[in-house]
Each structure stands twice: as structure tokens, then as C-alpha cells.
Amino acid sequence: MISFNTVVDDLKESANELTTVNTVGFGTISMLDANQQNAVYPYVFFRPLTSPGIRFGQPMIGGRTLNFEMYVMDVPLLTDTDMVDVMGNTELIGYNIISKFYDGSYEPRYTVSVGSIVPIFEAFGDRVGGWVFNLNVETDPTGITNCNRV
């Protein structure tokens, strides 16, 4: 089974590979503050959510699902048109990050789906705009134990 660490590392790597992203972070909502992360925008932040885990059954019902929020944010200028530009650019960044799981090197190992995207107009220490992508990451549950059984 692909470890949680590997899933998070792959999500972060996919974001870090984009030249349009300056900072990538991971953690709880309290760590989303740009000052906590020393963030330079555009900023991508992954937050784990409650997940269904593995669906057991006879035979195995499905894979293992982990849920994340992916915040894609930037700081607009003080014009209305710039906020529209920020919303458009951050939406594209989000889909570019996810695209590696469909047609990139992660494609055979994962199924990633987007449950929804929600606009952000917030002040996490900065006035930001962007999107929150609700991601469902499904992996194969094969090899779910690392235990040596007697």
C-alpha cells in the first residue's frame, strides 16, 4: 500500500514542479497562515480531512481513500479585474497540479477526483483570493500491513 507520507509527498511535489507556484505547505488549518509558513504567493497548501480509509469486505470492496483540501491562493492587486485574474490563474494552477495524477508519472498508482472547488476571499494574514479544491485520493489497498504475524 502506498503510505500516507508518499501520497502527501507526491501531492507536494506535483505543486512544487510548477513554475507558477512559489510556496507549498501541508498541515492543519491553524498552519495556513502565510506567516507560519513563510509563504511567498502563489501559495498551495494541503490539509488532510476525515477520510473513509479502506473499505473492507469479502472480496475487498475498493481501494483506500484519503481526502484533502488543496488551497491555491494568490494576493491580488487592489482592482476588481485583478481578483478575476487571480481566480482564473489559481484555478488553472489547481488543475495543473491534479493533471499529473491523470497523465503524468503518478497516473498508474492513484485515482484523484475533485469533489468540489470553493472560492476563497480571505485574509490568512494576507488578503488572498483563490480556490479550495476538495480532493479524494484513492490508492490500491494491496499490502495493507507491515506487521510480521506469528
Domain-by-domain residue ranges, the chain?
4-139
For residue 74, give the nearest of 116, 99, 49, 45 by alpha carbon: 45
- Of 69-78, 87-96, 103-112, the one with minimum mean pLDDT is 103-112
User: pTM surpassing 0.85?
Assistant: yes
Say yes or no: domain 4-139 is CATH 3.30.2000.30.
Answer: yes
If pLDDT is split at 50, 70 and 90, which confidence band does 58 have? Answer: low
pLDDT tens-digit series, residues 25-36:
999 888 876 666
Cell numbers placing 40: 511567498
* Dihedral angle of Cα 71, 16, 36, 114, to the nearest 10 degrees: 20
* pLDDT over threshold 60, residue 59: no
If pLDDT is split at 50, 70 and 90, which confidence band does 150 have? Answer: low
If pLDDT is split at 50, 70 and 90, which confidence band does 143 have? Answer: low
Across the strands, what pairs with 46?
A: 26, 70
